[in-house]
Amino acid sequence: MVYVHMPIDTALSMSETGASIDGIGPIPAAYAREIMTNPKSIWRKVLCDPATGNPVDLGRSSYRPNSTIRKLVEVRDRMCVVPWCRRPARHCDFDHQQQWAKDNGSTSTDNAAPRCRKHHRLKNAPGWIQDYDPVHGTSSVTTPLGVTYTDKRETVLPPRSSETDSAPDPNDDPPPF
């Protein structure tokens, strides 16, 4: 399975904003559309907030995530959120940042992080402190010896700048200015 990340306006040929393939990196918009139109391609849409570049939250009140929430977390984080671990998210446990039963944590993308089984178990071990901010993609782990490791993941899509979001001024002269 290969994940291709592309803005909707690129998919609709309204923009040449590039796309990316997980584990490979950026690809031209035209190539992404070529992959998309291949009859053997299977597509699942994941809507991203254009301001942050992160998938939007769906929320859920039961302990186990539905497949949509789990997929959103896998797409957003791509791998175990512990700084030195690179295990793919699809092979990780779905971890509630704020514990579901003890701390009344929700089963939602805002409260979720993929952690490999080892780091999921280590999260609640004495002396270990793990913190993850899914909105900004920052993660830290403090060991029992007080050493802190930090990491920051890239967002699924780059956040759009205010220049990109603004419509052209109708009073501007047509190109070439």
Q: Is the entire prediction scored with pTM above 0.75?
A: no
Closest by CA to 131, choosing from 150, 145, 104, is 150
Q: Is the peptide bond before 28 cis (omega within 30 degrees of 0)?
A: no
CA angle 122, 131, 136 (to 5 degrees): 140
For the residues 1-14, what does the mean pLDDT come to?
82
120 Cβ contact partners less than 8 Å away, ≥ 6 residues apart: 92, 93, 95
Which residue ranges make up each domain of the chain? 67-152
pLDDT tens per residue across span 89-135 = 999 999 988 887 777 778 888 888 999 999 999 988 999 999 998 87
Select the more confidently predicted residue: 79 or 158.
Answer: 79
User: Residue for token digits 């992959």?
Assistant: 35
Tokens of 52: 């942050």
* 3-state SS, one letter per residue, for 104-139: CCCCCHHHEEEECHHHHHHCCCCCCEEEEECCCCEE
Q: Please give the Cα distance from 116 to 79 (Å, whole number).
A: 9
